[in-house]
Structure 1
Amino acid sequence: MAAYRSALKLLRIPFSLFLMPVFWFGISALRGPLDWPRVLGAFAVLHLLVYPASNGYNSYYDRDEGSIGGLKAPPKVTPELLRLVYLFDALGLAGALLLGWRFAALVLGYALVSKAYSYEGIRLKKYPLWSTAVVVVFQGAYTFLLAQVGAGAGAGPGALFEKTNLLLSLVSSLFLCGSYPLTQIYQHQEDARRGDRTLSLRLGVRGTFVFAALGLLAGAATLALAYWLRGELRALLIFAVATGPVLALFGRWVWLAWPDPTHANHTWTMRMNLVSSVCLSAAFLATLLWGR
């Protein structure tokens, strides 16, 4: 049991909650009444089962010796970790099936792609452009639409494939495009040791900050356009107010790390992840609740 308790840490369940903003963004974009039991069920399937399984599988093949997302000092990888991964995958698919076969099929697609990202026989993570494209699409627009299907949308093409809904799904990918390299910025030595030429490693510390700023700016501009087309300017105001702390923290981080790259470390990355996750989730939840 001690080995399983140690392996459970590598599933990094609390870290999975950093992915909440995309889920709540997708739900907040739905129009009409919500089936809250379905919404909460979909949330639990993704954040408590599917994402932790993906985290654990990534840790199994990475075998990190230094800090990783959510863990300052990760335990050693053991065979028990892979067993837990498969258990969480099975439970996630079973839970998804309770919400419908379409949701389950999309969850299965996400799980398979996340494994291709890390699996040593494929390991998309080795390729900076491919890995970035996979994360940007599957943790962005794909998850945005996945959340909506889990909530019960998709009976007809109107909800999912309405043009402004697709534009908002694009926003989630643009935000991921900006934030994803920041999650790699403190792992340059680990990634280089394994031969993983990540996008952040290729860009360098300063290049990562510039790339992130451009991606996030593009996402914010597209979000403003989508909310304007939908006549939801109040939602845009909520977003602008809620992301103020994120912009302040990002500016402070760049100010410190630009002349001194040692500030591009695990502590600052996790701080940025936490603040942005909380603020964005709060913005989309406020949009969701206030709008209804």
Structure 2
Amino acid sequence: MKKSTFLHLRFPFSFYLLPVFLFGVAVAQPENWMRLGLVFFVLHFLLYPASNGYNSYFDKDEESIGGLEHPPATTKNLYRWALILDSAALLLGLLVDWKFSAMLLIYGLASKAYSHPIVRLKRRPILGWLAVGVFQGYFTFLMTVYGVLDITIASLFEWSWQSPALLSSLLLLGSYPMTQIYQHDEDMRRGDITLSLTLGVRGTFYFTGLFFLVSSVGFFLYFKETFSIQIGLLFVALLSPVCLYFSYWFVKVRKDIYQADFRHTMRLNLVSALMLNLFFVIFALNI
């Protein structure tokens, strides 16, 4: 594996995708630790890096991308390793069962459609936004629950699983445009019309702020009604640093639009991931 390939697989970036997995685990409360470890490894060390590498290969970004400020040039080696990791994820997924492996395949295909030149959902602002929000949120939550528990696919349609899955997507639908805010110039040059580019820099902040408010209320009500008001209040308390940093950054951007850059975006992602991961770990240990 070439160094450039390893960098583009962006293994550390899986940390930012960890909250949905932890949410699923916290709600599911699995008892089979071997199965839990397998699902965690397949998602975060195989499926997600494979998607990162595959999309990087077709995007061929020259400027900063999520988790990589100075991306090196991509090579065919990256494409091959993305497919190898994808294949390994599908094979290991069979240790759960063929249905879980099929869910991994569906996620992988949806991810590839985002950047592949034949489909390239990245050029369709609404469809691309929905695809990311649904598959990284709703679908991943249900895939996690199915992977760590011995249940049927049909049972995933029960409201006890559907409501947290929908909340996961709501959170992702709000936060995803913010991850595109520093890529406007490169997206325009390449002809990619992302939702953030359509909204503009300030519009992206307003859009994300609205979704953050709505999803926070939704999570609070879910935790209050399903578990306890204390859990709901803890969620709000631990998300307050995210809100504070978001507001601080927006003030800077209003004065200087060039502050909507890679480093501020990654700091927001880091604060958000840290607080969400911390909450879901505490939540899981105290149910």
TM superposition score category, shorter chain reference: over 0.9
Q: How many residues align structurally?
A: 287
Residues 58-78 of structure 1 show CA distances to partners (whole Å, capped at 9, x for unaligned) of 110110101111111111011
Equivalent of residue 58 in structure 2, options 58, 61, 76: 61
Q: What amino acid sits opposite 2:83 in the alignment?
A: Y
Alpha-carbon RMSD across the aligned residues, in angstroms, is: 1.4
User: Could you list the runs of 5+ residues in structure 1 that have no partner in the other structure?
Assistant: none
Output the TM-score relative to the length of structure 1.
0.95
Q: What amino acid sits opposite 2:252 in the alignment?
A: L
Q: Does 1:5 align with 2:6?
A: no
Equivalent of residue 221 in structure 1, options 208, 217, 220: 217
Q: Does 1:254 align with 2:250?
A: yes
Corresponding residue for residue 90 of structure 1? 87
* 1:190 to partner: Cα distance: 0.7
Q: What amino acid sits opposite 1:288 in the alignment?
A: A
> Does the residue aligned with 1:258 lie in a helix, a strand or coil?
helix
> Does the residue aligned with 2:73 lie in a helix, a strand or coil?
coil
Q: Does 1:237 align with 2:233?
A: yes
Equivalent of residue 42 in structure 1, options 32, 39, 50: 39
Equivalent of residue 174 in structure 2, options 170, 175, 178: 178
Corresponding residue for residue 79 of structure 1? 76
Q: 2: distance between equivalents of 1:37 and 1:255?
A: 47
Q: What amino acid sits opposite 2:239 in the alignment?
A: T
Q: Does 1:123 align with 2:81?
A: no
Change (3 A) 1:204 1:110: same
Q: 2: distance between equivalents of 1:157 and 1:89?
A: 26
Corresponding residue for residue 112 of structure 1? 109
- Sequence identity, in percent? 45
Equivalent of residue 198 in structure 1, options 194, 197, 201: 194
User: Could you list the runs of 5+ residues in structure 2 that have no partner in the other structure?
Assistant: none
Q: 1: distance between equivalents of 2:160 and 2:97?
A: 25
Output the TM-score relative to the length of structure 2.
0.96
Q: What amino acid sits opposite 1:253 in the alignment?
A: W
Q: 1: distance between equivalents of 2:160 and 2:252?
A: 38
Change (3 A) 1:195 1:176: same
Q: 1: distance between equivalents of 2:91 and 2:118?
A: 27
Q: 2: distance between equivalents of 1:68 and 1:103?
A: 30
Runs of 4+ in 1 over 6 A off after TM superposition: none
Equivalent of residue 27 in structure 1, options 25, 29, 41: 25
Q: What amino acid sits opposite 1:19 in the alignment?
A: L
* 1:149 to partner: Cα distance: 0.9
Q: 2: distance between equivalents of 1:168 and 1:258?
A: 34
